[in-house]
Chain A
Amino acid sequence: MRQHLGRSINGPWVSVTGVLGRSTPGSSVDAVAPPSTEPPARTWTLLALAVLGIALIVMPAAFGMFARAPKGAVMLSEFRPFMTTSRLDGFQLDIKQINAGVQQSRHSVASYLGDSSTDSSGGGGSFKAEYPNFASFAGQWGAIDSHMTSLLDSVQDNLGNYQAVAALPSFRLFPWFFVVPGVLVLLLVATLVIRPRRRSTIRWVLVVIGLGLVLAPAVFQMFQRAPKGGQMMSAFKTIETTSNVETIQGYFGEMAVGQGAIRLELVPALERTGLTQSEINARFPAVATLDDRWVHILNDMTPMIGAMSDNVVNYQAIAALPPFPLFPYFFVLPGLLIAGVALAAPGQRRQHQVSSEPTGRVSPDGSQN
């Protein structure tokens, strides 16, 4: 009987205040509805909201987002200069020009310098013996070319994915996208406890916060962009490693030696045969192009290797976060729960009905007179 009385007159919000030992001022029925008899089920809304609020606040810390998300922002920022179609095409061109210069050196130049027995590595036997630096490099070039081309292809394939992630709000803000709503929810719950008469307004504010969380991923196009971020992270898994960076640093050293051998050994050898520089350029255009563009290639590729190296730690920090495709749901689920709980809680109408009858009397069976 008393449970029915409490439920029908006060509603859950009031019952909680009752549990907390506060009565609703102006309610004439409080005197006949002892707080201690309020059923536990009536506290669930506030408790659920408090738990959701705390969960939103705690989640970024639990996932290490405060430390990791800014590193993601740094990585995206440092990759930005390189993640353009023209820049990536430029890197591909750099590798193609090195390849063309190496192939022409190992075949045409070797042949011109009197070695007709060219093989698949660095020219024929005597050529190799006479130009060991080039021969050594030419022997390794196939693997370097294959690895670098594959790496650049992979990066280029993920250009759209990178751009999608980069179009999201700054990663630095992400932890706060959870903390701020969480704090708001907790403040509103506290307000409900202290000022229960504002429950109707607060309930709708909670619904708005919940809907805000639900809509945020849609507004930021996270449902499309986050999975693309996941694809990019997967593709970069084998690229952004210390081992891979050191391998590329090694390639860089080999390429520098190889180009040096072409520039400082093969070309002077061609000149010694009587060819002028313009004749060399005409007869061996790929060699001439490589020589001509080498400094540009260094200017181009060195900062890219630096960005790759500097962001290994940043990549690993982001990779340690939950998978990107899940992120939209980290907003949607708590949002739905907050809005749902707030909507499930009774509104003020019934309380108004009671409050509007301050002099009403309640019969022992719970009906009003």
Chain B
Amino acid sequence: MGYRLRARVLLGLVALGALATVALSPTVAGAAGSRAKELVGTFKLAAGSCTGTTPTGTYFRMIFPGGTIAAGKFFDNADSTCTDTSYTLASPGTAGGLINGKYQPDPTPAFSASGGALASSIVKPQNFTAINFGIATNPTDPQTGLAVPAPVIKDKNGKLSGQVEAWSADWNNLHFNQGSPKPDGTTPGLTLPVSGTYNAKTHAFVLTWASAVVGGPFNGFTGYWHLQGTFKPAKS
């Protein structure tokens, strides 16, 4: 077999391989469909509500050291509008909620003169024992000083998972990392991974996680986060 002939055969095989790849691509995509897929867009938050027997929408609870997520003991927020003041309700912020894959950083300054949080993109600043608390996600976690990725939530057949390492609660001139996992990748204490549900048709979602407070005045406490609302896909 001459050199030119061998080269033509080789070229032909490469072309056949390329054709096969293109032809099989829907099958590959189908296989990927069973993998967790990052949702591109914003998790628009529904405001928390205590009108029913159990709170709905977006809310937060804080568990004392030694407690459990299910049974507490819970920290009571006198400013809560719920009968059970351990629920602190939240309302969507200027961005409507959590933008997946992007940071929603603290403004500068992050606090008012009285120590109230000024971050208002994810949720509206909310009174917590007379001082506003807010939520932000920064490239560098302000409490630990560690670099953290932007939150990423993925869907796999209606089950949500992901990471919110950058989730930071601001209150009283202090930052409390409330991410899961924590910025160093650990899940100390009662920290629970991000989990939830997603309805691909209605885009309704529920996201929950728990995060132990490490360091500072609330060291050993755990924050439990319940985000609920409707996912709004980004315009492509």
- A residues contacting B by CB (< 8 A) are 133, 242, 245-246, 249-250, 252-253, 256-257, 259-261, 263-264, 294-295, 298-299, 302-303, 305-306, 309-310
Given contacts A253-B64, A253-B76, contact A260 B129 (CB under 8 A): yes
Residue of A nearest to B128 (CB): A256
State which of B65, B79, B174 has its C-beta within 8 Å of the C-beta of A260. Answer: B79
Tell me if A246 and B66 are in contact (CB < 8 A).
yes
Tell me if B79 and A249 are in contact (CB < 8 A).
no
Contacts of B174 in A (CB 8 A): 302-303, 306
Given contacts A249-B65, A253-B64, A257-B78, contact A294 B219 (CB under 8 A): no
Tell me if B131 and A310 are in contact (CB < 8 A).
no
State which of B66, B77, B130, B219 has its C-beta within 8 Å of the C-beta of A263. Answer: B130
**Is B193 in contact with chain A by the CB < 8 A criterion?**
no
Q: How many residues of B contact A (CB 8 A)?
A: 24
A316 to chain B, nearest CB (A): 15
B160 to chain A, nearest CB (A): 32
Inter-chain CA distance A294–B221, complex, in Å, is 22
What are 19 A-B interface contacts by the 8 Å CB criterion? A133-B78, A242-B220, A252-B217, A253-B64, A257-B85, A259-B129, A260-B76, A260-B77, A260-B79, A263-B130, A264-B79, A298-B130, A299-B173, A302-B172, A302-B217, A303-B173, A306-B174, A306-B215, A309-B220
Tell me if A260 and B78 are in contact (CB < 8 A).
yes
**Is B162 in contact with chain A by the CB < 8 A criterion?**
no
Residue of A nearest to B74 (CB): A253
Residue of B nearest to A260 (CB): B78
A141 to chain B, nearest CB (A): 15
- B residues contacting A by CB (< 8 A) are 64-66, 75-79, 85, 114-115, 129-131, 172-174, 215-221
Tell me if B173 and A249 are in contact (CB < 8 A).
no
Inter-chain CA distance A126–B230, complex, in Å, is 46
A223 to chain B, nearest CB (A): 36
Inter-chain CA distance A246–B67, complex, in Å, is 12
Instruction: Please give me the 5 A-B residue pairs with the lowest Cβ-Cβ distance, nearest first.
Output: A260-B78, A306-B217, A256-B129, A305-B217, A306-B216
Given contacts A245-B219, A252-B217, A295-B114, contact A259 B78 (CB under 8 A): yes
Contacts of A242 in B (CB 8 A): 220
B9 to chain A, nearest CB (A): 69
Given contacts A256-B76, A302-B172, A310-B215, contact A246 B220 (CB under 8 A): yes
Given contacts A298-B131, A299-B172, contact A257 B76 (CB under 8 A): yes
Given contacts A298-B131, A298-B172, contact A249 B218 (CB under 8 A): yes
Tell me if B131 and A295 are in contact (CB < 8 A).
yes
Q: 5 more A-B contacts (CB under 8 A) besides A257-B78, A303-B173, A305-B217?
A: A249-B221, A256-B76, A256-B78, A298-B172, A309-B217
Contacts of B115 in A (CB 8 A): 295, 298-299
Residue of B nearest to A309 (CB): B219
Inter-chain CA distance A360–B124, complex, in Å, is 100
Tell me if A253 and B217 are in contact (CB < 8 A).
no
Inter-chain CA distance A95–B2, complex, in Å, is 98
Contacts of B66 in A (CB 8 A): 246
Contacts of A306 in B (CB 8 A): 174, 215-217, 219
Inter-chain CA distance A231–B137, complex, in Å, is 44
Most buried by A among B78, B114, B131, B174: B78
Tell me if A250 and B215 are in contact (CB < 8 A).
no
Inter-chain CA distance A235–B130, complex, in Å, is 34
